[in-house]
Amino acid sequence: MQGLAASSRIVLVVFLLSMAGAAAHGRKRVVSSSSNEPCTKMTLYLHDILYNGVNNSQNATAAPATKPTALSTTHFSNGTFFGMMVVFDDLVTEGKELPVGNEEPAARAQGFYFYDKKETYTAWFSFSLVFNSAAHKGTLNLMGADFMDQETRDFTVVGGTGDFFMARGIATIRTDLIQGSFYFRLQMDIKLYECYV
């Protein structure tokens, strides 16, 4: 490495470490050459049951960690919950229905979202899909802006572990169902464009 500039040596070391990490897991890196041909795709449904503060504590999978700010509740008549953060541990299924009895969900979505606009409902999400089933083990990590007034919006898949080691891609989110103020179901069409197999 004599004769290489310091920045070139750093890049080379990072590259070699990343290749060693992939080799250590015995996997081959697959990168899609087209947005129409992801290396993996799946459709999942996230079920968010917000605690209503009264009688659904047994079924709730999400709860506010903060209250809406005075700015959002006193100055705006639409009550956008600006500044409120919600922490969740939501069920994720392959079909639209919630699991019944002892049925295992496809995954769990664990993370948070917070309302980040004063004038309308928008939120920013950061969460992990935690898989522990016969089909998949590991995590996918997602984050992104949820512009709730748009039909679809994209979250970035920023990484993963286990079966999804170092995965990269896009999750297109669609609000599939809203029931009152305390339940919503999101459809997530996940396409991974960088996979290790």
Predicted pLDDT of residue 121? 78
Tell me the percentage of the chain whose pLDDT exceeds 90: 50
Q: Are strands 40-49 and 168-179 parallel, antiparallel or unpaired?
A: unpaired
Q: What are phi and psi of 12, to 5 degrees?
A: -65, -45
pTM of the model: 0.80
- Structure confidence by residue, pLDDT tens digits, 162-179: 999 999 999 999 999 999
Task: Please say if the pLDDT value at position 146 is more than 60.
Answer: yes
Please report how many Cα atoms fall inside a 13 Å half-sphere around the Cα of residue 33, on the Cβ side.
Answer: 0
Tell me the backbone φ, ψ of residue 93, rounded to 5 degrees: -125, 160
Mean pLDDT for the chain? Answer: 84
What own/partner pairs with CB < 8 Å and gap ≥ 24 does 70-75 have? 71/118, 72/115, 72/118, 75/118
d(CA 170, CA 33): 15
CATH of domain 32-196: 2.40.480.10
Q: What is the pLDDT of residue 16?
A: 47
State the pLDDT at residue 149: 85
The answer on pLDDT for 53 being more than 70 is: yes
**Which pLDDT value is given to residue 6?**
59
Calculate the CA dihedral of residues 62, 179, 154, 144 and round it to 10 degrees.
-30
Tens digits of residue pLDDT in 74-103 = 555 566 778 889 999 999 999 999 887 788
Is the model more confident about 156 or about 181? Answer: 156
Predicted local distance difference test score (pLDDT) of residue 119: 76
- Number of C-beta neighbours around residue 167 at 10 A: 24
How many other CB atoms are there within 10 angstroms of residue 171's CB atom? 26
The predicted model gives 105-112 an average pLDDT of: 96
Q: DSSP for 132-176, please give it.
A: ESSS-EEEEEEEEEEETTSSEEEEEEEEEEETTTT-EEEEEEEEE
The domain spans of the chain are: 1-27, 32-196
Helix (H/G/I), strand (E/B), else coil: 78 = coil
Q: 3-class SS at 85? A: strand
